[in-house]
Structure 1
Amino acid sequence: MTHMATGTLTQERSALSVTAAAQVIGVSPHTLRYYEQQGLVRPARNASGHREYGEADLRRLVFLTRMRLSGMTMRDLTRYIALVEEGASTVPDRRQIMHAQRDRLTRRIRELTLALETTEYKLRVYDGHPEG
């Protein structure tokens, strides 16, 4: 079992097929194959040539899907993963990417909060209670 809401994958398991991994992560197998084509994840292959996603692959996929959900571009993700694979010397560059992403998310949350407040105001007006 996974615990996606808490941000962790907690159960030890053997490698998963592309279909099983997609199901665990909550995306389509096509998405996983796309991430692989883009060089963002590199699952092992078994003797038959089928993909086998291990724990590290699943953690990477959780990160990728959350960053995409948050609006990070494929260009930024590709750059970030390339830096990760270059090693520890790239931590300052990775931090810079994450700071920029946090700034975008903070701005977007602020915008969505204002939109929600406006929506709630309109609902109060329609219910005959514009002040309460």
Structure 2
Amino acid sequence: MYSIGETAKMVGLSAYTLRYYEKEKIISPSRNANGERAFDDQHIKWLQFVIRLKATQMPIAQIREYTELFLEGEHTARQRLELLQAHQLFIQEQLQNLTSVESELQYKIENYERIIASPMK
């Protein structure tokens, strides 16, 4: 079992964020005899997944919804699948947008490189 500080260091989040995730019911650490939060390897794996979802701009509300569905059990598999599929579409749209912007930036960069490389008149 890991303390909140140890867990925060392991996953690269602050203790404040872990407490926030607990308040939002995204994670439910157990408590030790002193009432302190105690995290195990399953919590670490879950937090790593949550961090990846956040990195793809999934809102906390959707992460909470996914968590609630997961905790309800296997009968929610279809709902979880649909939620993840919808988010995957969002990610694909973002990738297309980024690719388009990257192409525009590349054009500008090449143009400036040509201007800088050409002799001054």
TM-score when scaled to structure 1?
A: 0.83
Larger helix fraction of residues: 2
Q: Which residue of 1 aligns with 2:101?
A: 115
Structure 2 residues without counterparts, runs of 5 or longer:
116-121
Identity of aligned residues (%): 28
**Counterpart check, 1:104 vs 2:93:** no
Amino acid of the structure 2 residue aligned with 1:35: Y
Q: Which residue of 2 aligns with 1:3?
A: none
**Counterpart check, 1:26 vs 2:5:** no
Q: Which residue of 2 aligns with 1:80?
A: 66
> Equivalent residues in 2 for 1:1-132 (5 A)?
15-128=1-114
CA apart distance, 1:77? 1.0
Q: How far apart in 2 are the matches of 1:128 and 1:45?
A: 63
Higher mean Cα deviation, 98-107 or 44-53? 44-53
CA RMSD of superposed structures (Å): 1.1
The higher-RCO structure (CA 8 Å, 6+ apart) is 2
Q: Could you say which structure has the larger radius of gyration? A: 2
Q: How far apart in 2 are the matches of 1:125 and 1:86?
A: 56
Q: How far apart in 1 are the matches of 2:46 and 2:24?
A: 13
Q: How far apart in 2 are the matches of 1:121 and 1:86?
A: 50
Higher mean Cα deviation, 117-126 or 100-109? 117-126
CA apart distance, 1:62? 0.9
- 1:66-112 superposed Cα distances (whole Å, 9 cap, x missing partner): 11111111111111111001100000000000000000001101111
Q: How far apart in 2 are the matches of 1:16 and 1:117?
A: 46
Q: How far apart in 2 are the matches of 1:38 and 1:78?
A: 7
